[in-house]
Amino acid sequence: MVDFTILVFSVMQPYDEIAQPGSRDRELLEELDPNRLPRHIAIIMDGNGRWAQARNLPRVDGHRAGIRAVRETVETGARLGFEVLTLYAFSTENWKRPRHEVLTLMALLKEFINRELENFVENNLRFRPIGRIEQLDPSVRKALRRAVDATAECDGTLVQIALNYSGRQELTDLVRGAVNEAGAGSVAVDDIDECWIEDHLTTHGTPPLDLLIRTSGEQRVSNFLLWQIAYSEILFCPTLWPDFSRTDLLQALIEYQRRERRFGGLVSDGGVFAPPGTAKV
Ligand code: FPP
């Protein structure tokens, strides 16, 4: 007897998992050059509060609705083969928000891990929190640890969630570490170059950040990945985060591929000289 499940999977194109033939998303997908997709994408998921306000709902409902967009973005990114997807979920400045909002965001994060961890493992996604994790509530740290441990062997897309994160703090922590190590003699001051710094960022081991997207129409970087954005393309998308869809992501990727990336050189000439110690771009 023919096993139809095997038959269906064997005739399925990789794109069929993302969008049905004939759909708008499929047309967008087919506009993309699969060989020039960004390896590392980061997103500032902004606009949850305004989304809720426009519906006369409490702000936290906007965050809750934002989870759908997180799930869809992770799923599409993984299917497209992103190496890294970094999401800004909670900045160090977000502690200034009302206690109820902060507690809800932390609860949503734990809920997300509880619901999605199995999917992460099944789909070979690795989970990594970045930021001052040690300052979070023990129950949050426990959930994060569980997600890190459960996905430690996965080698598909790395999903980095920035929590209690700030780019300035990341660099401050790094400078402190460098001074301590140099003082203890474990690194020579002259060996502290761009490569050393990259190896000591919270994002160490990840490819350069190719594309930073901020939703909601705000045009700011808001203390996110300050070192890492050196040569990133930055794209501001008007959609409020809870409405951010696969279509928005595909459109952002098309816009990214339209841009000419020169990294300070000339497109016609890859260049031959990189000063020693400079980081990859
Ligand atoms: C910014 O919108 C969004 C945040 C501060 C939180 C983002 C969190 C989520 C999408 C849900 C939890 C995430 C994960 C990964 C489980 P805002 O509240 O500043 O919006 P506003 O500018 O319209 O007020």
Ligand 1: centre distance to CA 193 (Å): 35
In the structure, which protein residues have their CB atom closer than 6 angstroms to any atom of ligand 1?
Answer: 45-50, 63, 66-67, 70, 87, 89, 94, 105, 108-109, 112, 161, 216, 241
Lowest pLDDT segment from 5-14, 191-200, 216-225, 226-235: 5-14
Query: Which residue from 258, 260, 242, 254 is spatially nearest to 80, judged by alpha carbons?
Result: 254
Whether the per-residue pLDDT at 84 is higher than 70: the answer is: yes
Q: How confident is the model at residue 149 (pLDDT cuts 50, 70, 90)?
A: very high
Ligand 1: centre distance to CA 64 (Å): 9
Which residue has the CA at smallest separation from atom 15 of ligand 1? 89
Whether the per-residue pLDDT at 9 is higher than 50: the answer is: no
Q: What mean pLDDT do residues 66-79 have?
A: 97
Q: Which of 43, 44, 48, 71 to mutate to test the pocket of ligand 1 (most atoms within 8 A of CB)?
A: 48
Ligand 1: centre distance to CA 152 (Å): 26
Q: Provide the pLDDT for residue 8.
A: 41
Whether the per-residue pLDDT at 56 is higher than 80: the answer is: yes
Q: How confident is the model at residue 264 (pLDDT cuts 50, 70, 90)?
A: confident
Q: Provide the pLDDT for residue 5.
A: 44
Q: In what order do the strands lie in the sheet with 158-165?
A: 126-130, 158-165, 84-91, 40-44, 211-214, 233-236
Per residue, the 3-state secondary structure of 168-209, as one string, reads HHHHHHHHHHHHHHHHHCCCCHHHCCHHHHHHHCCCCCCCCC
What integer best gives the mean pLDDT of the chain? 93
Whether the per-residue pLDDT at 281 is higher than 80: the answer is: no
Percent of the chain with pLDDT over 70: 91
Whether the per-residue pLDDT at 265 is higher than 80: the answer is: no
Q: What mean pLDDT do residues 44-69 have?
A: 98
Whether the per-residue pLDDT at 267 is higher than 80: the answer is: no
Instruction: Please tell me the pTM assigned to this model.
Output: 0.91
Interatomic CA distance for residues 171 and 234, integer angstroms: 21
Residues labelled as active-site residues: 46, 94
Q: What mean pLDDT do residues 110-139 have?
A: 98
Q: Provide the pLDDT for residue 2.
A: 41
